[in-house]
Amino acid sequence: MVAADAGVSRATVSRVVNGSPKVRPEVVESVNAAIERLNYVPNRAARSLASHHTQSVALIVPGDMTKFFGDPYFAAVVQGITNRLDESDYTLNLLVASSDPRHKTMRYLRSGNVDGALVISHHTGDDFVANLETAMPVVFGGRPTNHSGRNNYFVDVDNIAGAVSGVQHLIDLGRRRIGTITGPVDMPAGIDRLTGFRHALDEAGLPGDAIEHGDFTAAGAAAATRRLLERHPDVDALFVASDLMAVGTMGVLAEKGRLVPRDIAVVSFDDSPAATSGPISLTTVSQPSKEMGFAMADLLLRLLADDEAVPHHNIMPTRLVLRESA
């Protein structure tokens, strides 16, 4: 094998491969040469067995994956994650946190098959996840609901500030009857964006009662928009909690003959590809989705590397992107 070829012991090869500083540069050199020459790739299984870690991390997504992956926002986050992981030699394992047979996933996770986990779109009630945290480092995408302990790591955007900036833009435009289609109110992102909506309106002394709840899907938002229009026909602006939902909203508005932005101005959230796919491009609160994914993976990797002083959370800024809808 490599050791013989380089004229050193297997232990030294191991040291070189693992980047130990306790090897003379010239030896490192010759070992690397031998590795190159023999096209050697260390065996992952053997490595795991001996070292007690697996070099792989789990990506845990909610059970109804279609809702998850169908959203370009999440797609971008995943992209960011893989980008970061590609630079390391960690592998991504895709797991579904189906609530039903949680045992199977949980058993898998807890029996040392992954070194850490990335959790996205986590609803309340998944105590499943809390359980996980006792077994390995976990990084959340979006602030977890049960933001209990010091051991909570997550990356998120400032949803409140983002929502405020979006709604403020509507106010600055002179709109006075502003409604919102919220995200699920059992998810922090949904809650925070609603909070920001209220803040901005309170601040301006405007009524904040035109609220309908959506579920981060286009169809759900369409239904919510219908309800809102029925109850508050006088709205002249809408803050929609995600681009994908805004697509549903725009459909209903078109159907009802309400012109955007003339009759109703619309601001949404995400700045995903969905924002520019429709006939009217959306003014939206941009969040750096890919960067968030990247940051999540980065945080987890640093945790796994026993990096001291890893920040517990990474709150990224939003930016209002002006387009046609408002």
Partner DNA sequence: TCCGACCGCGAGAGCGCTCTCGTCGAGAGC
Partner DNA sequence: GCTCTCGACGAGAGCGCTCTCGCGGTCGGA
What does 123 bind: a second copy, DNA, none (CB cut-off 5 to 8 Å by kind)?
A: none
Amino acid at 4: A
Question: What's phi and psi for 322, nearest 5 deg?
Answer: -85, 125
Nearest distance, CB of residue 111 and DNA, angstroms: 9
Residue 194 contacts by C-beta under 8 Å, 6 or more apart in sequence? Answer: 163, 180, 182, 183, 185, 211, 241
104 interacts with DNA by CB under 7 A: no
Distance of CA 119 to the CA centre of its chain: 8
Nearest distance, CB of residue 25 and DNA, angstroms: 8
Residue 295 contacts by C-beta under 8 Å, 6 or more apart in sequence? Answer: 80, 155, 314, 316
Nearest distance, CB of residue 26 and DNA, angstroms: 7
50 interacts with DNA by CB under 7 A: yes
Judged by CB, which is closer to DNA: 3, or 173? 3
Candidate residues 4, 11, 94, 259; the one interacting with DNA per rule CB under 7 A: 11
- Decide if 170 contacts 178 (C-beta within 8 A): yes
What is the residue whose two structure tokens read 């490595």?
47
Candidate residues 39, 43, 66, 134; the one interacting with DNA per rule CB under 7 A: 43
Q: What is the DSSP letter of 276?
A: G
46 interacts with DNA by CB under 7 A: yes
Judged by CB, which is closer to a second copy: 207, or 273? 273
What does 276 bind: a second copy, DNA, none (CB cut-off 5 to 8 Å by kind)?
A: a second copy
What does 254 bind: DNA, a second copy, none (CB cut-off 5 to 8 Å by kind)?
A: a second copy
CB atoms within 10 A of CB 283: 25
What does 91 bind: DNA, a second copy, none (CB cut-off 5 to 8 Å by kind)?
A: a second copy
What does 1 bind: a second copy, DNA, none (CB cut-off 5 to 8 Å by kind)?
A: DNA
Residue 280 contacts by C-beta under 8 Å, 6 or more apart in sequence? Answer: 250, 260, 261, 324, 325
Residue 172 contacts by C-beta under 8 Å, 6 or more apart in sequence? Answer: none
The SS3 assignment for 270 reads strand
Q: What is the DSSP letter of 216?
A: S
Candidate residues 32, 42, 88, 106; the one interacting with DNA per rule CB under 7 A: 42
Judged by CB, which is closer to DNA: 11, or 33? 11
Distance of CA 202 to the CA centre of its chain: 29
The SS3 assignment for 33 reads helix
| Residues paired with residue 136 on neighbouring β-strands, in sequence order | none
- Decide if 283 contacts 322 (C-beta within 8 A): yes
Judged by CB, which is closer to a second copy: 131, or 146? 131
Amino acid at 287: Q
14 interacts with DNA by CB under 7 A: yes
Interaction site with a second copy (CB under 8 A): 41, 43-46, 48-49, 54, 56, 59, 65-66, 68-72, 74-76, 78-79, 82, 86, 91-96, 98, 101, 104, 107-108, 111-113, 217-219, 222, 247-248, 251-252, 254-255, 272-274, 276-280
What does 251 bind: a second copy, DNA, none (CB cut-off 5 to 8 Å by kind)?
A: a second copy
Nearest distance, CB of residue 268 and a second copy, angstroms: 14
The binding site for DNA (CB under 7 A) comprises: 1, 7-14, 17-18, 21-24, 27, 40-43, 46-47, 49-51
